[in-house]
Amino acid sequence: MALFLLDSNLLLGMIIEYNEVHQHIKEWCIVEKIIEIKNLSYQVKDTKILHNINLNIEEGEDVTFVGPSGSGKSTLMRIIASMISASSGEVLFKGQKIENIDPIEYRQKISYAFQQPTLFGKTIKDNLAFPFEVRKQEFDRQKVTGYLEMVNLNETYIDKSVNDVSGGEKQRIALLRNLIFPPEVLITDEVTTGLDTENKAIVHRMLKDFNEQGLTILKVTHDETEINDAAIKITIRDGEIANV
Amino acid sequence: MSNLTVSNSTLMLGFVLVIVALVIGYIEKLHIDKDIIIGVIRAVIQLSVVGYVLKFIIKANDNWLTLAFFLIIVMNASWNAGKRGNGIPKAFQSSLLAIFVGTTVTLTTLVLTGSIKFVPEQIVPVTGMIASNIMVAIGLSYRNMKQTFTDRHQQVLEKLALGADIKLASLDILRDSIKSGMQPTIDSIKTLGLVSLPGMMSGLIFAGVDPVKAIKYQIMVTFMLLASTSIGSIISCYLAYKQFFNERKQLNNDLIS
């Protein structure tokens, strides 16, 4: 009887262990949908900008959004970044409606990089210290230097005036503001527009590195090379998804 | 008091000065003649009514009546400051709180320190001085805030996109707007006595008070206006900047021209 009890306990333990392992295997095998967009529409007064958008973005994907100017790409990105709200439909982040997530917390996870960024304050430090300020943390010079080197800039840039950097350097510094505390999703809205070949290459390499480390990237671009190199391409035309 | 010789007939003769303004307006085709005439008629009627009302309140010497007049001045100043909000939601409510707190704190300090007495002839004019200065300060703050949010909206958007709270995203604008409300008071303090001999001091000198004594009152007024415009600007700006964002902490585009 005692032997039987021992065996049944062992069996129970094995079943529990099996279930846990099975659960882990299931979790490993299913790639999580990081962003889900359901029946999303956006209009300003009577003008429809986006109409019935349905889209799933999986974790770690690098998705390129293309389409003519004014087709609604940037509007869609701004809705995903919670900078504006959809007129109808919903956006889910890891299965949760974004309306139910604190917008500040959400924007630290879904970071939006602008086409023509402005640098704040007087020095580059004012800009690179901002993400620390947002998180109420002390400025970490060593960490920032490491990130600057990643985009071919060095420590001396920290104390430079915002007026003493070139357009390409400005864009790279602005992108670092988004990446110093890596988000889960990075949205880049034509960030390479107007950059020379060398600066474009630096930005491409940096984004590729982050993507390889698991960062999901949503990219809006008109750049031919970026469009040709796109792993996943989504065309938006007249406020609707034309093809995936 | 014998120095005060303005009578109805001297006022009528003084009307010549209005005619000078009207003639200049007409010759230069400024199209302001109508505004001048309406302004003069309103000023004469309003001041006459206020003169009689003040005479009644001072004669009655009743605390409740004095407080009622205090509230009327505060409400009126808030309504005017709210109008200067130019589309900022709840501008009247924000102004009311700012002017009420600014005026109450300053008046209470003045009464408790013995600078003025709680009598209608002192409370009512001082309330008017404080409330009108806060009203002007709030108007300037609102105008600056609206303009700066328009000029720097891209920067605010970028800060929000980096996960900043609305206060951190608009901190520069908030500081500039508070400063712009206080700036005229600070500027006028710097030139006191050198360029201007302000109302309080001039009034006392006119009434025959020793100028050395009159300046003491003016110094008190200076302290009082500095405190009240700071309190008013800070409260109104801290309440108003939130109106530029919606409940999802997104920038409200309707307010940005």
What percent of chain A is modeled with pLDDT above 90?
77
Interface probe with A: pick from B157, B162, B166, B176, most Cβ of A within 10 Å: B162
Between CA B145 and CA B236 the distance in angstroms is: 11
| Residue B161 forms contact with A (CB below 8 Å) | yes
Q: Which residues make Cβ contacts (< 8 Å) with residue B107, sequence separation at least 6?
A: B70, B116, B123, B126, B127, B130
B140-194, pLDDT tens digit by residue? 999 999 999 999 999 999 999 999 999 999 999 999 999 999 999 999 888 888 8
A123-161, pLDDT tens digit by residue? 999 999 999 999 999 999 999 999 999 999 999 999 999
pLDDT at B4: 64
Phi-psi label, residue B39: left if phi above 0, alpha if psi -120 to 50, beta otherwise: alpha
Give the Cβ contact number of residue A194 at 10 Å.
Answer: 13
DSSP calls for B178-229: HHHHHHHHHHHHHTBTTTB--HHHHHHHHTT--HHHHHHHHHHHHHHHHHHH
How far does A124 lie from chain B, in Å, by closest CA?
A: 15
Residues B201-214, buried b or exposed e (16+ Cβ, 10 A)? beebbeeeeeeeeb
* Residues of chain B contacting residue A133, judged by C-beta atoms under 8 Å apart: 164, 168
Between CA B200 and CA B221 the distance in angstroms is: 8
How far does B161 lie from chain A, in Å, by closest CA?
A: 6
Model confidence at A9, in pLDDT bands (50, 70, 90)?
low
Between CA B123 and CA B39 the distance in angstroms is: 27
A194-214, pLDDT tens digit by residue? 888 998 999 999 999 999 999
Helices B33-60 & B63-83, crossing angle to 10 degrees?
A: 160
CB of A123 closer than 8 Å to CB of A159: yes
Nearest chain A alpha carbon to B154: A118
Stretch among A2-16, A63-77, A168-182, B205-219 having the lowest mean pLDDT: A2-16
Domain ranges in chain B are: 1-60, 62-255
- Under DSSP, the state recorded for A32 is P
At position A42, the amino acid (one-letter code) is Y
State chain A's mean pLDDT as an integer.
89
Helices B120-151 & B33-60, crossing angle to 10 degrees?
A: 140
Phi and psi angles of residue A186, each rounded to the nearest 5 degrees, phi first: -115, 125
Rg (Cα) of chain B, in Å, rounded?
21
A165-183, pLDDT tens digit by residue? 999 999 999 999 999 999 9
CB of A66 closer than 8 Å to CB of A221: yes
Between CA A170 and CA A176 the distance in angstroms is: 10
Between CA A11 and CA B124 the distance in angstroms is: 90
Interface probe with B: pick from A42, A44, A74, A82, most Cβ of B within 10 Å: A82
Strand spans (E) along A20-113: 33-44, 47-58, 62-66, 88-93, 96-97, 110-113
Of A103, A117, A135, the CB nearest to B248: A103
Q: Tell whether the model's pLDDT for residue B70 goes beyond 80.
A: yes
Which of A229, A138, A131, A141 is closest to A175 using CA atoms? A131
CB of A61 closer than 8 Å to CB of A225: no
